[in-house]
Structure 1
């Protein structure tokens, strides 16, 4: 994957996440810039997504810890390099934990 392809994939993902959060009845503030997307919850906890172009990885930092994701082109999804779990499953779980509400983002 080229750096341009990597950045395009992550740009699309981060916009889709922000759009999906806007559709929720949960109070989550989003701020994007410098290759990062920061989600802040009412309790002031945060989830931060950041791109790592040199490694072609997406990194996620949450109260539960830090996780690194590689893009699996055959599955067309980001997968955690330590647990093999899909990114969206982990993000939904961490957002639910940190918001105190059930969060199920619909990306599409």
Structure 2
């Protein structure tokens, strides 16, 4: 896949994730912050200061997710983003991470 196509796919996924997280925060009336910075880095800061960082890595053509619960790398496959180690879906992993870090308060997808 060329870099332009990858960037387009990754940016669309990050925008969808940002919107889903913001909706989950609103539903839960949680005191969390979501910030998308230039360069496609999405940061979520929870009430206790825990952070989740999701970004695109163009050189590897992956989306990376990092939190104190662990780090994951996802590649596009069949319209989904799949973990390179265990085959899990990005949205499922993100939902699990945010539920864990927010004590069940944030349900994203």
Q: Unaligned regions of 5+ residues in structure 1, if any?
A: none
Equivalent residues, number: 104
3-state secondary structure, aligned to 2:34: strand
Q: CA RMSD in A?
A: 1.3
Gaps of 5+ in 2: none
- 1:102 CA drift (Å): 4.2
In 1, Cα distance between equivalents of 2:106 and 2:3 = 31
**TM-score, reference length from structure 1:** 0.87
Q: CA deviation at 1:51?
A: 1.1
| Deviation at residue 99 of structure 1 after TM alignment | 1.2
Cα deviation 1:29-73 (Å, max 9, x = unaligned) = 11111221001000100000111101101111011111111110x
Q: Which has the higher helix share?
A: 2
Aligned partners of 2:43 and 2:83: how far apart in 1? 19
Distance in structure 1 (CA, Å) of the matches to 2:108 and 2:50: 18
Name the CA distance, whole Å, in 1 between partners of 2:15 and 2:70: 23
List structure 1 segments (4+ residues) > 4 angstroms apart after TM superposition. Answer: none
Taking structure 2 as the reference length, what is the TM-score of the superposition? 0.87
